[in-house]
Structure 1
Amino acid sequence: MLWSKPQKKPDTNLAENRQPAMAAVSTTPGEIQRTEKKETIVDLVVKLAPIIQEMIPMDCTIGVSDREKFVYYLPGEGINFGAKPGDAIPKGSGLYGAVSTGRTIDTVVPKEAYGVSFKLRGLPLKDEKGQIIGAVAFGLSLKNQEALIEVAQNVAASTQQTSATVEELASSAQQLAGSQEVLENLGKEVLEQVKKTDVILGFIHEVADTSNLLGLNAAIEAARAGDHGRGFSVVAEEIRKLSIKSAQAVKEIRDILAIINDKVMVMSEKVVEAAALSEEQAAATEEISAAMQELSTSAGKLEEVASVI
């Protein structure tokens, strides 16, 4: 058998000009096929959720749903209620409220529910026509808020207690100042009485001098009378001794009263100084009390701000 060169079959995919054949494409708009699915706002929120969580400096969780079920859930560090894509939206949740009412829903989830309290906001998601196609829920941990409120309450309680103590000190200082004023007046009265004793001592000293002089005269007359005046001489001598002792006693009393006078004057000066210090203390405690009142007011405002976070 002779080998014969095989005949080449014509390529039906090539046109007469040897170029690839192109299928005719219709330019009618209705015949154009769109194969790409258009992104919805739900899809965009799902993409942005991790970025949003990263931007929030506090523990937070984000859930996204369509009208019936979860399509995405991003738990926080401490907030995790275990939702998975495909799970039905629980009734009473922020997502359910936002989808069913079309309004923003704010609620506070107590600590008993998931082990940590958090503030939840549900927001409806709408398409270009304004139709609700889903919702997004953002949960923010209230741990920092609760700690801030506790600190504010402790500060308020401490400032109130301190303010009450300062007010007591101010009241005590005022009472002390009043008592010291009384002591100062008493000291002045004592000084006046000491001055009056000088007059009495002067009189006693004068009596003693007079008695001494009378005793001396009596002794002279007794000596003139001789034996008849001996008895009178003894009496005169005793009068002279008594006058001398009286004069000595007056001197001692005067020295003692001088010392008392000096001590009372020192005491009066100290009382005056203490009264001035008490007044300064009362003024200082009033200033501290006013500052504590301002601090208590600031703590109250801090608590109000914390409740809004």
Structure 2
Amino acid sequence: MPPEEKDPILEYFVRLAPLIQELIPLDCMIGISDREKFLYNLDGREIKNPKAIPGKPIPGESGLSKAIQKEGTVRITVSGETYGGPAFKTTTVPVRDEAGRVIGAVGLALSLSAQDALTEVAGTVATLARDASMAVEGLAESAQNLTRHHETLLSVVEEVRQQVSKTETILGFIREVAGKSNLLGLNAAIEAARAGEGGRGFSVVAEEIRKMSAYSTNSVKEIKDILVAINEKVGKMAKSISQVSDEAQNEAAATEEISASVQELATLAQKIETVAQII
């Protein structure tokens, strides 16, 4: 219980203390003293000062005593081991009478539980942001490599198409030669028939020329069919590669968006840390 006789100003603070505690959303403790002894102490939900007994002398190392001696504001952080509870930080100010003389002090202690929790959350968020950022960077690099590989494949496909086109030109030339050879063989056969018995040997040569021409024509047709099939499959391959390339580009764009979000997360962690320090 506070002593019966107090300075009116200190008595005012004693009466005001419960209201101040209710106004502060954090767990807090309020202590009031005159120049020598504790006058009043209002413990918080978890933070308590078992040594702050009304009527007992205030310790020289306490914030109340230091604020009186300094005649100014004193801030102290008290570890949880000191009183067996949560750590807290105190802000103590001297109280002056109408003549300006220091007649006592008022101290407000705020629990650091919220600060510790926020600091832990900020650290966790920062770690997650850092890990996510590394993962996103790896994805971005993979997407870029994939895009480069797709561009290389598309270049190869285009080159194959060009080679197929050139082969078609060569086949056209062979087809033309085969047609002329067939015509030459036919003419040679006619001339051999006219020559009678003397043209028999030439007739054999003419027949071989016609067979070679027919074989060349058939080979050209088969090769052309193969080239048409190759060109068709190359076209499908190019379409598939193009689709995969588009997906890779979309993935790269999505990765950039994720990277921006991760950066915002890291910024948020810094803000949380700042707020924790303020609290």
The CA deviation at 1:264 is: 2.0
1:241 maps to 2:190: no
> What amino acid maps onto 1:162 in structure 2?
A
CA RMSD of aligned residues (A): 2.7
Match for 1:161 among 123, 128, 131? Answer: 131
Within a 5 Å distance, the mapping from 1:45-124 to structure 2 comes to 45-83=13-51, 84-114=53-83, 115-124=85-94
The one-character-per-residue Cα deviations of 1:88-127 (angstroms, maximum 9, x if unpaired) are: 3223221121121111111111233233111111121222
Match for 1:292 among 239, 262, 274? Answer: 262
> What amino acid maps onto 1:203 in structure 2?
F
| 1:79/1:216 CA distance change after superposition, 3 Å | same
**5+ unaligned residues in a row in structure 1: which ranges?**
1-35
**In 2, Cα distance between equivalents of 1:96 and 1:37:** 20
Match for 1:172 among 122, 138, 142? Answer: 142
Secondary structure of 1:179's counterpart equals: helix
Secondary structure of 2:60's counterpart equals: coil
**In 2, Cα distance between equivalents of 1:93 and 1:229:** 135
Question: If each structure's helix is expressed as a fraction of its own residues, which one has the higher value?
Answer: 2
| 1:118/1:245 CA distance change after superposition, 3 Å | same
TM-score (norm 1): 0.77
> What amino acid maps onto 2:151 in structure 1?
E
The CA deviation at 1:149 is: 1.9
The CA deviation at 1:44 is: 2.0
How many residues align? The count is 274
Within a 5 Å distance, the mapping from 1:20-31 to structure 2 comes to none
Secondary structure of 1:148's counterpart equals: helix
Q: Which one is further off, 96-105 or 107-116?
A: 107-116
Q: Which stretches of structure 1, 4 residues or longer, exceed 4 Å deviation after superposition?
A: 36-39, 217-236
> What amino acid maps onto 2:49 in structure 1?
F
The CA deviation at 1:226 is: 5.9
**In 1, Cα distance between equivalents of 2:68 and 2:114:** 30
Preserved CA contact (<8 Å) 1:167 1:286: no
**5+ unaligned residues in a row in structure 2: which ranges?**
none
**In 1, Cα distance between equivalents of 2:203 and 2:6:** 148
Within a 5 Å distance, the mapping from 1:1-309 to structure 2 comes to 39-83=7-51, 84-114=53-83, 115-220=85-190, 233-309=203-279
What corresponds to 1:8 in structure 2? none
The CA deviation at 1:178 is: 2.7
Q: Give me the identity figure in percent.
A: 54
Preserved CA contact (<8 Å) 1:201 1:254: yes
| 1:240/1:38 CA distance change after superposition, 3 Å | closer
> What amino acid maps onto 1:174 in structure 2?
Q
**In 2, Cα distance between equivalents of 1:132 and 1:171:** 67
